[in-house]
A and B are shown apart, each in its own frame.
Chain A
Amino acid sequence: MNFNDVLSLIFFPVAIAAILFVYYLRRFPRIYVPDYARGVRYVGGSFRDVLGPGSYQNFTRRVQIEVVDMRPVPVILDRIFYRDALQSDSVVSLGAEVLVDDPYLAATSLKNKVADSLPIVRDTLRSALSRGIADASPEYRVKAAGDITGAVNAELKRHGMKISNVEITELSSRSTFGRPAIGPN
Chain B
Amino acid sequence: MIITIVCLAFILATVAMRVFGGRPGSVTLLEYQRAVLYRKGLPVREVGTGRHLVFTGVEKLMIVDTRPIQVSYEGQAVALRDGSAALYGVSGAARVQDARKAIYAAGNYNHVPAFVLLCCARSVLNNCTPTELKAKEAVADRIMERAKPRLVAAGFELLSFRLTQFALTQRAFE
Contacts and interface: CB of A to CB of B under 8 A. Distances in A.
Contact of B103 (A4, A33, A36, A181): A36
B85 interface: yes
A77 B79 CA distance: 15
B115 A74 contact: yes
Interface stretch (A48-56, A116-124, A125-133, A147-155): A48-56
A33 B79 CA distance: 44
Q: Tell me whether chain A's interface is mostly helix, strand or loop, or mixed.
A: mixed
Top 9 closest A-B pairs, CB basis?
A181-B84, A53-B41, A176-B83, A172-B79, A74-B115, A95-B119, A169-B122, A169-B123, A170-B126
A27 B168 CA distance: 61
Contact of B170 (A25, A36, A75, A180): A180
Contacts, number: 142
Nearest to B8: A11
B41 A34 contact: yes
Interface residues of B, number: 53
Contacts of A66: none
A179 B38 contact: no
A75 B114 CA distance: 10
Interface string B107-123: 11001100100110011
Nearest to A7: B4
A6 to B, nearest CB: 10
Interface in B99-140: 103-108, 111-112, 115, 118-119, 122-123, 126, 130
A112 interface: no
Interface stretch (B11-19, B26-34, B90-98, B158-166): B11-19
A15 B7 CA distance: 9
